Amino acid sequence: MKNDIYIIGVGLHKFGRTPDKTGLEQAKSAVNKALKDSKLKWQDLDFAVGGSQDAGNADSLINKMGATGLPFINVFNGCATGGSAMITGMNSILAGQGSLGLIVGFDKHDPGAFRVDLDKWDLPQWYGDMGFALTTQFFATKINRYMHDHNISESSLVRVAMKAFKNGNLNENAWRTKILSYDDIKSSIMINHPLTKYMFCSPSEGAAALIICNEEVANRYPSNQKIKIKACSFKSRREGTFEVFQPSYQPHMVNTVTKDAALDAFNKANISPEEIDIAQIQDTESGAEIMHMAELGLCEDGEQEQLLANNETHINGKLPINTDGGCLANGEPVGASGLRQIIENVIQLRGQAGKRQTKNPRLALSQVYGAPGISCVSILEKVQ
């Protein structure tokens, strides 16, 4: 179709800790890999979109890549920055800004939990004073209630983390590559009940870059190189949802923001959730992956217990999830995280994932979530 948009190049700088490189240098490395992958030069780009929380302004990349007059838009939406960069890039093509664009995200965070600037998130001082300004508490209360409502046991939380590190072990770009046992995870120190240390991801470093283009440019590429963006939907929360960083909640609940974004994406793609072959899901902690599975429509509430017990979300299962190890094994460099998911889907759909390759996937979903309740769902399709 005339308005279709394709991904023709991807590049990733290893996630984790790279003490000798700034965030912008890691971004440069990812951009160069993406350009090489698509056999393009920096000068060929019509526009760029990028974002980072702690590692500098994305447009400063022109100092490293070349001051060519390229229109370079900076975007930022917390943990969902990769999603906003992606959708801004797609809209740029649709609006006629150009036919070929770069999407880039990168970050470099200090170790430990994120320090929250209350004013930035529109939160009252007392909320921070009393020790509530922590995203980890939100995820813990959300999964605790979910486990109560839908009979999910602690073993499911452990299984999600076990799978993440197992997949991370197969990924040369992952941060945490050591396989951990059930007991290693279950008996690691408690962070926020019911979640232990190894069930949480940590802020890290890394960079991810994509080259996107319109149909006309995509026609110049072989079908096993280009991946079609079937749909991308970016939503913010509605009144009556339980989302991160809210001092109070309406008791009359509506669909979560992820559910809203997923429904819209499936609608745009004109496919049903059962058709999805693999998924990269926001797994800030084990419980988030479990809840997001149902919010995305990939299973029913409560069904996760059995799916996880049967290893169905493993690489060789019915519905492989977070095949690159997800946030748990890669950590979360906020600006890059959402694009890492999309790159993993591209590599899987191309059949280039090596040891962690899933069986002939055609449709791949990704979902990125962040404060103050925003979610972006993308669906990619292999070109037949």
Partner 1 sequence: MNKFIDNKILSGDKNQFTLLAGHCQICSRLYFPTLLNCSVCETDLKEYKLPKKGTIWSWTTQHFQPKNPPYDDKQGIESFQPFCLGIIDLNNELRITAKLIDVTTEDIYINMPVELVQLPFKSFRNGNDVTTFAFQPIKK
Residues interacting with partner 1, by CB under 8 A?
112-113, 115-118, 124-134, 137, 140-142, 144-145, 148, 189-194, 242, 246-251
CB closer to partner 1 out of 117 and 300: 117
Q: Which of 332, 325, 343 is nearest to 369 (CA)?
A: 332
CB of 194 to partner 1, least distance (A): 8
Contacts of 184 (CB under 8 A, 6+ apart): 198
CA distances from 101 to 191, 212, 213 (A): 41, 5, 6
For the CB of residue 48, give the shortest distance to partner 1 in the complex, in Å. 33
**125 vs 310, beta carbon nearer partner 1:** 125
Q: How far is the CB of 136 from partner 1 (least distance, A)?
A: 8
Q: Select 221 or 242, whichever has its Cβ closest to partner 1.
A: 242
How far apart are CB 118 and partner 1 at their closest, in Å? 5
* Rounded CA separation 12/210 (Å): 9
Closest CA to 219 of 209, 228, 208: 228
Place of tokens 């017990």: 309
Write down the least CB distance from residue 119 to partner 1, Å.
Answer: 10
Using CA atoms, how far apart are residues 333 and 339, in angstroms rounded to an integer? Answer: 10
Tokens of 72: 């370079």
- Smallest gap from Cβ 201 to partner 1, in A, equals 15
Q: Which amino acid is at 335?
A: G
- The crossing angle, in degrees rounded to 10, of helices 81-94 and 334-350 is 70
Please give the single-letter amino acid code of residue 199. M
Kindly tell me which of 351 and 372 has the beta carbon lying closer to partner 1. 372
Closer Cβ to partner 1, 53 or 92, answer by number: 53
Under DSSP, is residue 234 helix (H, G, I), strand (E, B) or coil? strand
Q: Which is nearer to partner 1, 171 or 204 (by Cβ)?
A: 204
Q: What is the DSSP letter of 284?
A: S
